């Protein structure tokens, strides 16, 4: 449908189950790089798949997951983590032998737990997590450049065919990502501190501001300095997605929250007792870590363009 030369197509037919920010960005990137022939899609009845077709992000839309995945070489689960089991069960009968199923979720142990039981033995499962995103959601929010210079972590369960892992790796590398393979439990512990805790803190800060008296709350919004504005940007992220992330990675998140609480108590003590040297040493160490993030090219302003603001859809 796109006129892509057959020699450059990595997956002749791809089916997306869910087409929000990540799914629509990956579909756009695959199209842009000539990696796909036809893109099919199924979502819940919220109008997003029809809109994605209007935008040209997908070619075909289907009312059932089983119909959408029929004949697909690659199936991408791009739904909230809590919906994975139901989606996997619904699409299982339509999967062809030799197909590869992957996902884009932020928690990997739970997706393996929820999806694997429904997949036929003839289908390979290669869970994935692109470490990219914005606070926006929906098919309008996607853009093909989202994954450039960003990490994508693959967490294949034991026994996954190496050829399937290699094809999924090739996909992510072709759209600009750096790819690593990681044990699922280790992934969940790492992401608990690098992604899940920051979101939890951002939600908490905004919640604290919301609990202030009405006049103080308005001043917080009116006079938001860059620190409050920039740090709380991620508090605008999709609430369903983040509810599911915290519930499905609860053990790792609770462990990190406990450690953070202990560190925050120590910081509180240093402020109370005027221990300036303690504060200075901490801020010096954390400044070095921030510089390391920039040196690794994982911050906007390090050669990575910030995400565009989606146009408002009336």
Q: Residue 129: in which H helix or E strand, if any?
A: strand 128-130
Neighbours of 127 (CB within 10 A): 28
pLDDT per residue over 46-63, tens digit each? 789 999 999 999 999 999
The pLDDT mean for the chain works out to: 87
Ramachandran sector of residue 135 (left: φ over 0; alpha: ψ -120 to 50; beta: rest): alpha
What is the rounded distance in angstroms from the CA atom of residue 76 to the CA atom of residue 100? 9
Domains of the chain: 6-182 (3.40.50.720), 187-273 (1.10.3660.10)
Give the neighbor-by-neighbor strand order of the sheet with 100-103: 60-61, 36-42, 11-17, 74-77, 100-103, 124-126
Ranking 71-75, 279-283, 287-291 by mean pLDDT, the lowest is 287-291
pLDDT per residue over 49-107, tens digit each? 999 999 999 999 999 999 999 999 999 999 999 999 999 999 999 999 999 999 999 99
User: pLDDT category, 236, cuts 50, 70, 90?
Assistant: confident
Contact, 105 vs 129, CB < 8 A? yes
Q: What is the pTM of this model?
A: 0.82
pLDDT per residue over 108-127, tens digit each? 999 999 999 999 999 999 99
Give residue 266's pLDDT: 92
Q: Which residues contact 33 (CB under 8 A, 6 or more apart)?
A: 8, 174, 175
How does strand 128-130 pair with strand 151-154? antiparallel
What is the rounded distance in angstroms from the CA atom of residue 237 to the CA atom of residue 299? 18
């Amino acid at each position: 449908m796109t006129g892509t030369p057959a020699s450059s197509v990595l997956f002749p037919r791809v089916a997306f189950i869910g087409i929000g920010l990540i799914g629509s960005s990956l579909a756009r990137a695959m199209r842009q790089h000539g990696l796909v022939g036809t893109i099919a899609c199924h979502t819940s009845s919220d109008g997003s798949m029809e809109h994605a077709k209007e935008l040209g992000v997908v070619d075909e839309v289907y009312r059932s997951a089983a119909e959408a995945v029929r004949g697909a070489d690659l199936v991408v689960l791009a739904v909230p983590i809590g919906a994975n089991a139901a989606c996997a069960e619904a699409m299982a009968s339509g999967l062809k032998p030799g197909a590869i199923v992957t996902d884009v979720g932020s928690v990997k142990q739970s997706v393996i737990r929820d999806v694997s039981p429904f997949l036929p033995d003839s289908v390979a499962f290669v869970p994935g997590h692109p470490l990219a995103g914005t606070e926006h959601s929906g098919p309008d929010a996607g853009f093909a450049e989202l994954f450039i210079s960003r990490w994508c972590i693959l967490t294949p369960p034991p026994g996954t065919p190496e050829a399937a892992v290699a094809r999924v790796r090739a996909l992510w590398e072709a759209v600009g990502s750096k790819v690593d393979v990681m044990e699922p439990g280790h992934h969940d512990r790492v992401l608990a501190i690098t992604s899940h805790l920051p979101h939890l803190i951002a939600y908490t800060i905004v919640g604290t501001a919301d609990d202030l008296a009405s006049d103080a709350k308005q001043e917080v919004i009116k006079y938001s300095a860059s620190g409050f504005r920039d740090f709380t940007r991620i508090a605008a992220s999709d609430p369903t997605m983040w509810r599911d992330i915290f519930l499905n990675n609860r053990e790792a998140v609770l462990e990190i929250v406990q450690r953070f609480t202990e560190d925050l108590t120590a910081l509180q003590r240093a402020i109370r007792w005027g221990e300036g040297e303690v504060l200075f040493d901490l801020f010096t160490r954390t400044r070095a870590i921030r510089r390391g993030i920039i040196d690794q090219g994982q911050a906007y302003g390090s050669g990575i363009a910030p995400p565009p603001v989606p146009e408002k859809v009336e």
